[in-house]
A and B are shown apart, each in its own frame.
Chain A
């Protein structure tokens, strides 16, 4: 674990752009950063690695002026600087793309970008400039659309273009690819490499070690608020990087090959759902069967109908044709979500904060919200049994390794990955017979992602039907027995994971499977998954 001090393989060391010198940040009792040192050179793509809660976000927020360090110095191009606020950071040349986007939903793309530009900027030609920059870096954007109507992938582009318009010399990216498809991520990497070639340094936070290895020249690894290692990720393997982050080996997911398939527990028959607004996706004639004992993965590029499909299965949106959605043998098209839960179904939506959990509620109350209808122990003639909810919360915390600074905190105080573990754990803890989950490991570190994926597979092997909707292809391959692809509201027929190549998925994502033949023999394809 010693500092390896690998000499950079670049022909000549580039000049140092920014240096953080023994930065410490204390939140009450917690030391989120403990004498952290970080050196970033011009034109370098520098990875910042660490598990959830390792202190990465705190460190970058200090660099961006959104937080003030308790102790330590920041040296910018050789000069000690104070960064009291984000405006100061921006005028130095620091841009940041946040993990939880800092966008204004009610405003247009152009308005959102205007807000981040210096006060004296001429805004009259802003839409043209947005289009020019977005074309130059391959980030298509319509300046006049309203953010609320845009999918996450596009929202991220807004954040990136917003930074690029200020011609930053340091661009901080907090888990940029966690919401992107492989193709979108490839585009992003091209953008980043182009920026780096132009001399812009990039501080890149990611949990995806493959991509760190692929695009970064340096990596700083943090654990429990301290820098534990520095390396050249190109000389490491994802396994060695993961070991540095976690401090122990991350165990590989094993898909127990013994699949005993049973009855179809999720059946979608000719499911159609009109688009809610001009920007939403219409679901067209979706057919799908998920059998007891298997995991079916739905791959697809962002905003191709994934959330609409999830809403239709979970009951957030009702379907006129009651037989279009059938859970555990019961037609539920018009039934409410709690009715579906009582049948034994569990749902984990994509947005964990605000959708999967109420931010201002304690975890035990969040347990109460999704489970009072199915757990008789939580509700006695309309009176809440708080003690039992707290017990469940404790059990989830232990079983799913949810880390918190104090007991039973508000949901919003958990870091993204920990909250995801909690939200998934809350549903898995019910031992549901049907599990539908959208983006199970968005923004979750390698260790926690492995835990969640393993739990999903294990659940299926106990005889549940698990439907995983994800934009992360590696994840789809890791957990799925069969894979289907959603594209513009249409779903391809699922195919066994072993025979589904990445090329084929790519073609299906591009719309190849849209004119699907309804007579594909699903049972046969399914049998091949065993």
Chain B
């Protein structure tokens, strides 16, 4: 038990940013918008979270700032792709490049500064339960948010009318428009939600994962989040499985390497990617379900013909 707990804690820490960012992108893509700028929104969220925390001394202000920063990036993306109808793929890539550059500039003065870690929220009574309480219920607010988000997104998408509208807009924007739904409004909200989640994921990195600011500290996690959304066939519960599987294998392979397992380190480093792809391909092998969950209008611009 003693050795297991720290490993589980690091798995949660490694998985949470992926889960947050991917859950936001899932909603964005469900509405039919492909935002490849997750990495860019994350890194801006990371630098803003760190710098506002450093300035105010309050990591919760940092959390709010990271979310806000992600939303601002998403707003820019939304304006370009939804109003000006720019190509979503190109704009998303540009957003990532912009985010990486912008964060480097904003964070210049904060390099090497010690950060403030987001405190663990103890739940009186529950956090003392051996194992369950000490692992799952002794986390910071962002971990709780990320897990609550899975349930909330699932409930929203499949149990509420608003979620139905989001899926409808992503499936057939022309019909949604013909029925009188504002495709633009739905997509703006979805893009902003995606930005907020990506920003939070970035904030998690600079406030919990490694409480400091390092340029490029997202290290490709935005791209992994994007891939997870597709491999999870846009379903929130599968996304949870995918994010935690990826987090778990990347932590475990690290421990295995440290223990001196006789496999090439390159192979071990590739393991999280391989394992995640294999598992998600296997759970997505039902083509009918996959087709029914793939937003048919993903990446297609919409202009009403009036």
Most A C-beta atoms less than 10 A away, residue of B164, B165, B181: B164
Q: Which residues of A contact B58 (CB under 8 A)?
A: none
Closest chain A residue to B300 by CB distance?
A360
How many contacting A-B pairs (Cβ < 8 A)? 63
CB distance from B257 to the nearest CB of A (A): 43
A interface secondary structure, majority: loop
B164 x A86 contact (CB < 8 A): no
A146 x B292 contact (CB < 8 A): yes
- Complex CA gap A186/B115 in Å reads 76
B180 x A104 contact (CB < 8 A): no
A65 x B164 contact (CB < 8 A): no
CB distance from A510 to the nearest CB of B (A): 30
Asked if A320 is an interface residue, CB under 8 A from chain B, the answer is: no
B306 x A67 contact (CB < 8 A): yes
Q: How many residues of A contact B (CB 8 A)?
A: 26
CB distance from B230 to the nearest CB of A (A): 16
Asked if A154 is an interface residue, CB under 8 A from chain B, the answer is: no
A86-B175 contact given A106-B292, A115-B164, A123-B161, CB 8 Å threshold:
no
- Complex CA gap A177/B288 in Å reads 30
Asked if A393 is an interface residue, CB under 8 A from chain B, the answer is: no
CB distance from B293 to the nearest CB of A (A): 7
Most A C-beta atoms less than 10 A away, residue of B165, B175, B177, B294: B175
Asked if B178 is an interface residue, CB under 8 A from chain A, the answer is: yes
Question: Quick one: which of B172, B180, B296 contacts A90, CB cutoff 8 A?
Answer: B180
Asked if A103 is an interface residue, CB under 8 A from chain B, the answer is: yes
CB distance from B99 to the nearest CB of A (A): 31
Q: Which residues of A contact B294 (CB under 8 A)?
A: 106
A85 x B164 contact (CB < 8 A): no
Question: Quick one: which of B164, B295, B306 contacts A111, CB cutoff 8 A?
Answer: B164
- Complex CA gap A107/B163 in Å reads 12
A105 x B171 contact (CB < 8 A): yes
- Complex CA gap A123/B164 in Å reads 12
Question: Quick one: which of B167, B172, B175, B288 contacts A277, CB cutoff 8 A?
Answer: B288
Question: Quick one: which of B167, B178, B296 contacts A102, CB cutoff 8 A?
Answer: B178
Q: How many residues of B contact A (CB 8 A)?
A: 24
Question: Quick one: which of B171, B180, B306 contacts A106, CB cutoff 8 A?
Answer: B171
A102 x B179 contact (CB < 8 A): yes
Within 8 A of A (CB), among B267-306: 288, 291-296, 305-306
Asked if B10 is an interface residue, CB under 8 A from chain A, the answer is: no
Asked if A68 is an interface residue, CB under 8 A from chain B, the answer is: yes
Asked if A87 is an interface residue, CB under 8 A from chain B, the answer is: yes
Asked if A214 is an interface residue, CB under 8 A from chain B, the answer is: no
A107 x B178 contact (CB < 8 A): no
A104 x B161 contact (CB < 8 A): no
- Complex CA gap A190/B101 in Å reads 67
Provide the B171-210 mask, 1 if CB < 8 A to any CB of A, else 0: 1101111111100000000000000000000000000000
A116 x B179 contact (CB < 8 A): yes
Asked if B229 is an interface residue, CB under 8 A from chain A, the answer is: no
Asked if A66 is an interface residue, CB under 8 A from chain B, the answer is: yes
Question: Quick one: which of A88, A90, A114, A277 contacts B161, CB cutoff 8 A?
Answer: A114
- Complex CA gap A104/B171 in Å reads 6
Q: Which residues of B contact A103 (CB under 8 A)?
A: 172, 175
B interface secondary structure, majority: helix
Question: Quick one: which of A68, A104, A116 contacts B306, CB cutoff 8 A?
Answer: A68
- Complex CA gap A66/B175 in Å reads 10
CB distance from B268 to the nearest CB of A (A): 39
Closest chain B residue to A67 by CB distance?
B306
A148 x B291 contact (CB < 8 A): yes
A148-B292 contact given A86-B180, A87-B180, A102-B179, CB 8 Å threshold:
yes
Within 8 A of B (CB), among A99-113: 101-107, 111
Provide the A260-298 mask, 1 if CB < 8 A to any CB of B, else 0: 000000000000000001000000000000000000000
Q: Which residues of A contact B100 (CB under 8 A)?
A: none
A106 x B164 contact (CB < 8 A): no
Most A C-beta atoms less than 10 A away, residue of B171, B174, B179, B296: B179
CB distance from A285 to the nearest CB of B (A): 27
Q: Which residues of A contact B239 (CB under 8 A)?
A: none
Question: Quick one: which of B165, B174, B292 contacts A115, CB cutoff 8 A?
Answer: B165
Asked if B168 is an interface residue, CB under 8 A from chain A, the answer is: yes
- Complex CA gap A67/B178 in Å reads 9
Q: Which residues of B contact A277 (CB under 8 A)?
A: 288
Provide the A91-102 mask, 1 if CB < 8 A to any CB of B, else 0: 000000010011
Question: Quick one: which of B178, B291, B293 contacts A66, CB cutoff 8 A?
Answer: B178
Closest chain A residue to B305 by CB distance?
A67
Provide the A125-168 mask, 1 if CB < 8 A to any CB of B, else 0: 00000000000000000000010100000000000000000000
Asked if A515 is an interface residue, CB under 8 A from chain B, the answer is: no
Question: Quick one: which of A67, A85, A90, A102 contacts B175, CB cutoff 8 A?
Answer: A102
A102 x B174 contact (CB < 8 A): yes
B161 x A107 contact (CB < 8 A): no
Q: Which residues of A contact B291 (CB under 8 A)?
A: 106, 148
CB distance from A225 to the nearest CB of B (A): 17
Question: Quick one: which of A65, A111, A146, A148 contacts B180, CB cutoff 8 A?
Answer: A65
Q: Which residues of A contact B164 (CB under 8 A)?
A: 107, 111, 114-115
Provide the A158-188 mask, 1 if CB < 8 A to any CB of B, else 0: 0000000000000000000000000000000
A104 x B172 contact (CB < 8 A): yes
Asked if A119 is an interface residue, CB under 8 A from chain B, the answer is: yes
A85 x B180 contact (CB < 8 A): yes
A115-B171 contact given A87-B180, A148-B292, CB 8 Å threshold:
no
B161 x A105 contact (CB < 8 A): no
Closest chain B residue to A85 by CB distance?
B180
A119 x B306 contact (CB < 8 A): no
Q: Which residues of A contact B180 (CB under 8 A)?
A: 65, 85-88, 90
A107-B168 contact given A68-B306, A114-B161, A277-B288, CB 8 Å threshold:
yes
- Complex CA gap A68/B172 in Å reads 21
- Complex CA gap A68/B165 in Å reads 24
Q: Which residues of A contact B176 (CB under 8 A)?
A: 104, 115
Within 8 A of B (CB), among A44-100: 65-68, 85-88, 90, 98
CB distance from A27 to the nearest CB of B (A): 9
User: Which B residues lie at the A interface, using CB under 8 A?
Assistant: 161, 164-165, 167-168, 171-172, 174-181, 288, 291-296, 305-306
User: Which A residues lie at the B interface, using CB under 8 A?
Assistant: 65-68, 85-88, 90, 98, 101-107, 111, 114-116, 119, 123, 146, 148, 277
16 interchain pairs (CB within 8 A)?
A65-B180, A86-B178, A88-B180, A102-B178, A102-B179, A104-B167, A104-B171, A104-B172, A106-B171, A106-B291, A106-B292, A106-B294, A107-B167, A107-B171, A114-B164, A115-B168
